[in-house]
Amino acid sequence: MLISIITINYNDLEGLQKTMKSVLGQTYTDIEYIIIDGGSEDGSKAYIESCEQDLAYWVSEPDNGIYNAMNKGIAHATGDYLLFLNSGDWLLDDLVIENFVNFIPVEDIIYGKIKWIKEQKIWDDDFSNKITFKYFSKASLPHQGSFIKHKLFREIGNYDEKLKITSDWKFFVLAIYKYNCSFKRINMFISMCNRDGLSCLPESWPLILKEREETMKTYFPAFYSDLAIYENVEEKLLTKIHKLKRNQRFWISKALIKIFK
């Protein structure tokens, strides 16, 4: 099984070095490693060039943003599964890809656990076995912890370059709920992810919500209307809970968790 790993980078030499070392140090050898650099001027290009004997493809040239760079990587990938591991994120240990292959994957999308790091603080992030439509109204799957079958990009299309932050989220929503792609959670950590990316910044949330809302309205208008009503009821109930006594809040909260999760 050939695994394509795509790393995009722009002026992040230190992050790029961590990412590339984690991939090039894997025990599994059938890895096709692709680097898309946006024309960095911080020494990234020279570092990539020094490792080119271990790369399937690399380029350093200006691009039109994150998703344009990721799409460039897809265009040169030939693997059975693709993993997007951007500069500053790294595989958790040298056995990650070998352990993934040992699961004998067949599903269209296979995702695992990740760890976040910010200012030396590290915390785990796990994802449910059950990914509901409502889940995607508030969250996504991690592209740094998700192996995607190559054929999906031919069937669904590449990442939407008109979106600035949520194109990978949109891809997962369409794959699972429009194209009925299969998915599976595996109980293993995939990567360590930097928490200071664009999508993690508080000031990005208005645009994230706007892009998600436009996608929902375009592709799932009926579901979006139901979801809006559903969330409005949830919000009102949770607001009222805070006015109850402590013991009442405990039991009602437990019931609501079962209803709304």
The answer to whether residues 172 and 244 belong to one domain is: no
The answer on 27 and 136 residing in a single domain is yes
| Locus of tokens 């344009």 | 68
> Do 79 and 4 meet the contact criterion of CB atoms below 8 Å apart?
yes
Residues 172 and 234 both lie in one domain: no
98 and 194 fall within a common domain: yes
pLDDT band of 209, cuts 50, 70, 90: confident
Query: Residue 116 — left, alpha, or beta (φ > 0 → left; ψ -120 to 50 → alpha)?
Result: beta
Rg (CA), the chain: 20
Give yes or no: residues 195 and 247 share one domain.
Answer: no
Domain of 59 in residue numbering reads as 3-219
What confidence tens digit (pLDDT) does each residue in 28-77 have? 999 999 999 999 999 999 999 999 999 999 999 999 999 999 999 999 99
| pLDDT above 80 for 237 | no
For 66, phi then psi, to 5°, come to: -55, -50
Task: Classify 66 as helix, strand or coil.
Answer: helix
Say if residue 195 is in the same domain as residue 251. no
Tell me, yes or no, whether 58 and 39 share the same domain: yes
pTM score, whole prediction: 0.84
CA pair distance 251, 146, nearest whole angstrom: 36
How would DSSP label each residue in 189-251? EEEEEETTSGGGSGGGHHHHHHHHHHHHHHH-HHHHHHHHHHHHHHHHHHHHHTTS-HHHHHH
Question: What was the pLDDT predicted at 238?
Answer: 47
Most confidently modeled range among 114-123, 180-189, 201-210, 247-256: 180-189
Domain match, 127 and 253 both = no
pLDDT digits (tens, 9 = 90+) for 120-157: 788 887 777 788 877 877 778 989 999 999 999 999 99
Residue 235 sits in the same domain as residue 174: no
Question: The domain spanning residue 95 has which CATH number?
Answer: 3.90.550.10
Same domain, 215 and 251: no
Burial label for 37, CB within 10 Å (0-12, 13-18, 19+), is buried
Q: Judge if 238 and 119 occupy the same domain.
A: no
Instruction: Tell me: do 15 and 38 sit in the same domain.
Output: yes
Strands 183-194 and 109-118: parallel
Our count of domains for the chain comes to: 2
Can you count the helices (H) and strands (E) in the chain? 9, 9
